[in-house]
Amino acid sequence: MLILSILFPVLLGLGILLKRDWGSRKALLTVTGAGLIATAALGLGVVFGGEAELMLFSFGKNLDLCFRLDDMGRLFAVVVNLVWVLSGFYAFEYMKHEQEEQRFFGFYLMVHGVLHGLVFAGGMVTFYLFYELMTLLSFPLVLHNRTREAIQGGLKYLFYSLFGAYMVLFGLFFLNRFASTLSFLPGGTLDPAAVAGNEGWMLVVAFSMILGFSVKAGMFPLHAWLPTAHPVAPAPASAVMSGIIVKMGVLGMIRVVFYLIGADFIRGTWVQTVWMTLALLTVFMGSMLAYREKVMKKRLAYSTVSQASYILFGLSLLQPGAMTGALLHVVFHAVIKSCLFLCAGAIIYKTHKTNVEDLRGIGKEMPVTVWCYTFASAALIGIPPASGFISKWYLAVGSLDSGIPVFSWLGPVVLLVSALLTAGYLLPITVSAFLPGADFPYDGLKKREPNLTMLIPLLILAALAVLLGIFPNPLTDWIAALAGTNL
């Protein structure tokens, strides 16, 4: 089932790309929808089906192509399938005005399968292989409409991603020498005898791999592809890029730090200090840039830069409570930001308005869409009882409990300032949408909500953004136990 969850969507997507005549749009959407549901069923079947381990082949010392299901993989697999399926069904209606639907859905399904390969990877070689495939197959989703801006955005995404991947590969060469295995094991796999006398060089290797994965995660100074790629991609692609693709960079850091190198090796070193510094700088910088941005999807892209680094800061503290907050934010941000991008796409689809200043009064025409946007915004800001409050609480408390000089108190301060800025760039849209003022021309207004194919994913994601905060205990307890096994 594990192999099938990878191969089935890849082959189906390839078949969609190669088939010349579908006869009707309905046939294409039927095959795509069935493929999305079947792929999610296969992936979740692996997640809830017990232990799974598979060795395909080995082609050298530690160079194994293998898969192994662990709790970290389970967490990311559930998030991937939830967001990917909802965004995919949303795209059935949205892609009418983007054209070239066959190409979009073909690559969309292929990336779905590759993501299963990533989250179920049992070692770094397998992870790196699927990480590169994810970049190459998601690249067409960014430049889908083939305008000059889309091509530039896609190429920027590709070049940044390849640069990051090469930094990871550089580290992987040396990690193979200093680790007893490249398979993922909690606590790390470094060989103390091999590392002895090479600690300084090993720290360079660790930092290289962290920085390489930070490209996808959008950490400064390698974040610039996000605000370029997101605005030009179709809204469903923007949603999964922000909600899922960015998280694969986070997963890469987790695998390197907690499953290969080991948290104890970098704790208290310059690597941890630089990592924390860059993460906090990105949190603040991303929020400031989002606050100043006037294009809605670009504002949300800068927001992703900031919010993803909440996760990275929590991981960099190497503290169980902070790691719990980071992993919670992986789940919550995926749900929230996907909802926000899909709301932006619904507005663009129905009104063709892309600038924030043009959205005045839009709540009178699209109240359901704007309410979904508002609930998701409240969650992202961290207004209780919405979900973002829970993850940010754990991050702040974990930072204070870490006892790290300066960063233990600086972290909560930056997170609080960022939350205020987040409110400053999200809530005014809601206010002007529902309360446009007495001088607003109300004549001629009409309801123009998108159809149920687009609305239902928005309603599900908005509801989850709130309900996961109201009933957080089962997820929080499970993630806290997961964090405890790695620290």
Give percent above pLDDT 90 in the chain.
63
For the residues 157-171, what does the mean pLDDT come to?
91
The pLDDT mean for the chain works out to 90
What confidence tens digit (pLDDT) does each residue in 347-392 have?
998 888 888 888 888 888 889 999 999 999 999 999 999 999 999 9
Output phi, psi for 58, to 5 deg. -125, 135
Query: Residue 91's closest CA among 76, 106, 113?
Result: 106
pLDDT at 226: 87
Q: Is residue 238 part of a domain?
A: no
Closest by CA to 344, choosing from 430, 445, 418, 436, is 430
Residue for token pair 């991603």? 161
Q: Is residue 103 part of a domain?
A: no
| pLDDT band at residue 338 using 50, 70 and 90 as cut-offs | very high
Q: Sorting pLDDT into bands at 50, 70 and 90, what band is 80?
A: very high
Q: Which of 180-189, 294-303, 409-418 has the lowest mean pLDDT?
A: 180-189
Least confidently predicted of 61-75, 236-250, 365-379: 61-75
> Rounded to whole angstroms, how far apart are CA atoms 7 and 54?
14
Number of domains composing the chain: 1
pLDDT tens per residue, range 445-479: 778 888 899 999 999 999 999 999 999 999 999 99
Per-residue model confidence as pLDDT tens digits over 28-54: 899 999 999 999 999 999 888 877 788
**C-beta pairs of 269-274 under 8 Å, 24+ apart in sequence:** 269/203, 270/203, 271/203, 271/206, 271/207, 271/210, 272/316, 272/318, 274/207
Cβ neighbors of 415 (< 8 A, separation 6 or more) are: 283, 310, 313, 392, 395, 396, 399
For residue 41, being part of any structural domain is answered with no
Does 113 fall in a domain?
no
Q: Is residue 411 part of a domain?
A: yes
Residue-level pLDDT at 336: 95
Q: Which residues are 66's β-sheet partners?
A: 55
User: Does the pLDDT value for residue 443 go beyond 80?
Assistant: no
Mean pLDDT of 180-192: 87
294 belongs to a structural domain: yes
What pLDDT does residue 376 have? 95
Phi and psi for 54 in degrees, rounded to 5?
Answer: -150, 125
Q: Give the strand pairing for 64-68 and 53-58.
A: antiparallel
Is 128 within a domain? no
Cis peptide, bond prior to residue 221, ω within 30 of zero = yes
pLDDT of residue 223: 86
Alpha helices in 48-100 (DSSP H): 71-94
DSSP state of 123: B
Q: Which residue range forms the structural domain that includes residue 384? A: 277-487
Task: Determine the Cα–Cα distance for residues 466 and 460; give it in Å rounded to an integer.
Answer: 10
Cα separation of 450 and 357, whole Å? 21
Written as six digits, the tokens of 133 are 């495939």
Q: What is the pLDDT of residue 318?
A: 94
Confirm whether pTM is higher than 0.85: yes
Whether residue 385 has a cis bond before it, omega within 30° of 0:
yes
The answer to whether residue 317 is domain-embedded is yes
How far is Cα 143 from Cα 240, in angstroms, rounded to an integer? 15
**Taking 90 as the threshold, does the pLDDT of residue 62 lie above it?**
no
Structure tokens at 167: 């930094």
Beta-sheet strands, E only, within 161-264: none
